[in-house]
Chains A and B, each alone.
Chain A
C-alpha cells in the first residue's frame, strides 16, 4: 500500500519529460539539467518519465543533459495529452518506484497535470518555481544574493517547527517562487510527504550538457480507453510563427508609451530588434489592448526572459513586468517619465520620447557597427 508519508522509502529525482507531437519541449532539457544538480546534491539517480507514442528516439536526447534512466511509456492512448491518461500512468509509476522529487515544466500541460497527480498521491506541490535547492549552504548563499534578509534570518532557514519539534530541512527540496505578482518571493518545502513536487517556470533554469549513456526502461502499465473521460477532437497550432522570446539574445519591448501611434511604435521596435538580431516583446498593457499577440508578453503572466540586452521602450515598469525581465544581463530603458520605476532596474536610462529616441538609436548603432 502506497503511503506518501513514509518519506524514507522514497529515492531519486524524477522529471516529467513533456513532448508534443513527438518533439521534446525545450523546458524538458532545462529541467533535466536542474534535476541533475539536485540528484548530485542528494547522491541519487536522475530519471526521466516520458509518455507518448513511439517516443524512444527522443528519450535518448535526455542523456545529453544528464539523465541516468528514462521510464518510457508508449501507447496510442498517450499520443496526445489528456489529464486522465497522463495522471494515471504517472501516479501508478510514482507509487511503484517512489521518487523523492518529481518536477514538471510549468506549461499548460504541466500545470494541468501536476496538481491532479499531487492531490491523488497526497503530497505537496509548489507552482511555477524559479529556483530550486537541496544543499543548505547553496540555498543560504542564494538568499544572501537574492534577498534582503538579515544574516540571522538566513541562518534560521536551516530548520522549521513541525508539530512542536525542529525539523532539519537539509534533505528537503527548497522551492522558491514569486508570489503576489512578484512583490514577494517565498521558499516552500514539503517536509512530511514524498515526492516533493514542483512545476518549474520555462526559460528560467539553464540548460547544461552533462552527457552520459542513458538507460531506457519500458515498464508494463495499465491504461484503458475508458480511463480517459475527455476526448481531444483536434490540436491546432497557431497560424503565424510565434516569437521565441526565451531563446532571444536581444529583446526590444514596447509598453503603453506607443499608444499615440501604435503602428509606428511597433514598426520602430521591429526595426531596432532587426538591427540587433533580436525580437519584439511587450508589456501586458499592449497585449490586453490587442496591439500585439500574447506570445510577445514579458512578465509575471507572460514569459520570463534573460537576454543579453533588454530594451524597454515606453514601459513604466510595473513589478509584474520586472518579474519577467529583471534578470536580463543589460537593461536599457527609454521613457518620457523620469520617475518611471523601470529606471530603478535599468543599467542605462534615457528620459525621452521613444518616437524621437529610437530612430536616433538605430542610426547610432548602425554607425557604431560600421566603425568596427
Chain B
C-alpha cells in the first residue's frame, strides 16, 4: 500500500507582500512555506502510516529549491520525496499542472489499495482545482473538503465539510481525498528525522523523465499547454482613508451616531 501526497511550496501571504511596479508579485522578497492545507494532507498520510506501515511518497512541482521542503517532510516521516521540475512545465495552469503531477504519480503505479492525499487549496492561487483534476486524469473517485478520514479495509469513510453542515461519504481505494485544516494537527519534524533526511534520496523528475507518458504532450503542459491565460494582473487601489474621529469618549460616539442618523443609516 502506498500513499501519495501532493504538496506545494508557496509564498507566505500572511506576511508582508511586495508587489513589483508592473503588478506582479515580488516573490524574491517573500518567505516561502509549505502550503498549510498540504501539511494536513501529510499528517493524514503519516497517521495512516503509523497504523498500517504503508509507504508515503510526497510529490511537488516547482523550482529546484523546493527540494528543501521535501527534506522537511522526510524529517516528519515521509519515506520518499519527488521533485518535478523542468522549464517545459513552467507557467502551467491547474489543468496542465494536474496532467504533469498525475503522470508523475502514474509512473509509480496506482494500485488498488493506494490513496492520494492533497491539501484542499494552496494559499497563492486559492483555486482548489489541482486535486480534483489529478483525480480526473487518473480516473479515480474523489472526496474533497475532508474533515475526518476513517479507514476500514479498502473503504474510507470521509466526513466532507459543507458550508451548512457535513456529509459522510464512503469511497473505496484507490481514491483522491483533499484535506482541510480541521482534519488534524500536523506533527513536527523529529530530531532523528532531521539528520536522516539529508541522507535520503530525493527523486527528480524532469521533462525527459515524463515525456513518454500519454498525459505529457507539449500541447497540454506548461504555459503553451494551459487552457487559461492571464490577461492582466493588478493591485486594487487603496481606498482613501476616511475620517478619524478624535477621542474615545461619549462625545466621540455621539458624533458618530449623529453622522449615521444624518445619513439615514440608523
Q: Which residues in A have some Cβ–Cβ distance to B below 8 Å?
A: 20, 80, 83-84, 107-109, 111-112, 114-116, 118-120, 122-128, 143, 146-149, 153, 156-157, 160, 162-163, 169, 174, 178-181, 183-193, 229-238, 242, 276, 295, 300-301, 308-309, 318-320, 326, 330-332, 343-353, 356-357, 360-361, 363-365, 367-369, 371-372
Of chain A, the residue at the smallest CB distance from B245 is A350
Pick from A181, A276, A371: contact of B13, CB under 8 Å: A181
Most chain B CB inside 10 Å of its own CB: which residue of A108, A169, A238? A108
B235 and A185 form a contact (CB under 8 A): yes
* Min CB–CB distance A349 → chain B (angstroms): 5
Which stretch from B72-80, B128-136, B193-201 is at the chain A interface? B128-136
* Min CB–CB distance A155 → chain B (angstroms): 11
A232 and B167 form a contact (CB under 8 A): yes
A180 and B11 form a contact (CB under 8 A): yes
CB contact under 8 A between A348 and B243, given known A108-B162, A115-B129? yes
B242 and A331 form a contact (CB under 8 A): yes
CB contact under 8 A between A351 and B248, given known A125-B94, A180-B11, A184-B235? yes
CB proximity to A under 8 Å, residues B92-151: 93-95, 98, 123-133, 135-137, 141-145
Chain B residues bordering chain A, tally (CB within 8 A): 83
Of chain A, the residue at the smallest CB distance from B233 is A186
CA distance A345 to B238 in the complex (A): 7
CA distance A59 to B128 in the complex (A): 29
CB proximity to A under 8 Å, residues B148-192: 157, 160-172, 175
Extra A-B contacts (17), CB below 8 Å, given A180-B17, A189-B229, A233-B167: A108-B163, A111-B129, A115-B129, A119-B95, A122-B95, A124-B227, A143-B234, A180-B124, A181-B13, A181-B14, A231-B169, A308-B265, A360-B250, A361-B257, A363-B253, A364-B258, A367-B254
Of chain A, the residue at the smallest CB distance from B261 is A368
Residues of B within 8 A of A343 (CB): 241-242, 244
A118 and B242 form a contact (CB under 8 A): no
CB contact under 8 A between A116 and B244, given known A184-B235, A230-B170? no
Instruction: Decide if B259 is an interface residue (CB 8 Å cutoff).
Output: yes
| Cross-chain pairs A/B with CB under 8 angstroms, 29 sampled | A108-B145, A108-B163, A114-B129, A118-B129, A123-B95, A125-B94, A125-B227, A125-B228, A128-B126, A148-B234, A153-B23, A157-B232, A183-B13, A186-B234, A187-B232, A190-B229, A230-B169, A234-B168, A237-B165, A242-B163, A326-B239, A330-B265, A347-B243, A348-B242, A348-B245, A351-B244, A357-B252, A364-B258, A369-B266
Instruction: Decide if B260 is an interface residue (CB 8 Å cutoff).
Output: yes
Instruction: Decide if B236 is an interface residue (CB 8 Å cutoff).
Output: yes
A119 and B132 form a contact (CB under 8 A): yes
B234 and A149 form a contact (CB under 8 A): yes
* Min CB–CB distance A325 → chain B (angstroms): 11
Residues of B within 8 A of A367 (CB): 254, 257
Residues of A within 8 A of B13 (CB): 180-181, 183, 319-320
* Min CB–CB distance B226 → chain A (angstroms): 7
* Min CB–CB distance A244 → chain B (angstroms): 11
CB contact under 8 A between A116 and B135, given known A83-B142, A107-B163, A364-B256? yes
